[in-house]
Structure 1
């Protein structure tokens, strides 16, 4: 798994460094509006409990606002009104929580397989009162047929070809995957063309968000899916899950009739 200032699984807890995340940037009010106080509280969570539990590297604390929270929040520019979103491998909640703070109209699922991370996410969501956020413990490949969203996001999770195999099958037809990437974005995309085509993608590109708002804009790989996101295998799994769901519902109705 790639990392971006995030401590690897299995590292011991570390002491919180003496410096905090620093003064709240003025641009944060423009991005978060009425939820600015919640964004400040989330950043404090990252700089304390996030470091103590090994979810954020101690050296990242002084740059939490610029490199992490605001860098992720500007992804909200790309989301249609009322969209549903799944943040795959959410970790400490990046980018899912900043996006949810910036866009309360978007329904966000934070998908994370590790218990200590989902515990942290649940505490944050509860403390901040984020009623548009749901935390789910699980792997993306386990959720095909159980979860379908308009947008999939990811940050520092895996190389593009592998990430597409996890993320695209969770999309509704013609949905989009938005992956935050750095300088390697173009090369990763070029190396992933065959995999993206096989997985039912129609278009892909590297775009920048936050230009004119942040000092350094955020580079995003945008992959637009076609009618069968994830390809043939994902479509088969979705159909199988749908049949199983219908069978369970029909069985429940039959049992209710027998009881009557």
Structure 2
């Protein structure tokens, strides 16, 4: 298997694990009759952070992007290669994003299998959708978009800073090491996650939303496609802004 194949598989597995554990903690908190039912938003933020930790550990060969916003932010920063020495070009960028989407759909499907009986017994369609994808506390598409842009900017800017500035030598979340990036995701969730549920990752939201749409979930209701563009467009904008900003800000700050 060549390097691009290795990083593709790495991103699929890492993103699947991230979504399995991240959406899994939401299922534990939100679905009826679970032992973690009602544990609250703090448990969700910690669970997502530790899910990122696990994903970064297993996807280290690819640089553990696990997120199209990270991939695009690194491109915008001027990175010339990703994990395992894969050069930055149209094919590698498309491969990373495709792998992240596939991994996210697989991870969400595994959550449904793990919690199948609880999905069947949960009467609220909104709780079921909330396991898979984010939704706003107050629906205002423009302001929801701003929240996602800001949260993703923080994520990608710090990733690039730890990865060596605009050159992006180490190529992704793995640049931080697994524990620091987990703490970064937790602090973004606890500080900026309230308004939208902090997708900060197009694959993390869109992949599970597609899984929700396709899976035979009992009484699942709508997949809320009207909102689905916000957690895709916002993180992409935030990631690109972070990448471009890093080119002139990080040399000054570091």
**Does 1 or 2 have the higher relative contact order (CA < 8 Å, sep 6+)?**
2
Q: TM-score, normalised by structure 2?
A: 0.25
Where is the helix percentage greater, Structure 1 or Structure 2?
2
TM-score (norm: length of structure 1): 0.24
Asked which structure has the greater CA Rg, the reply is 1
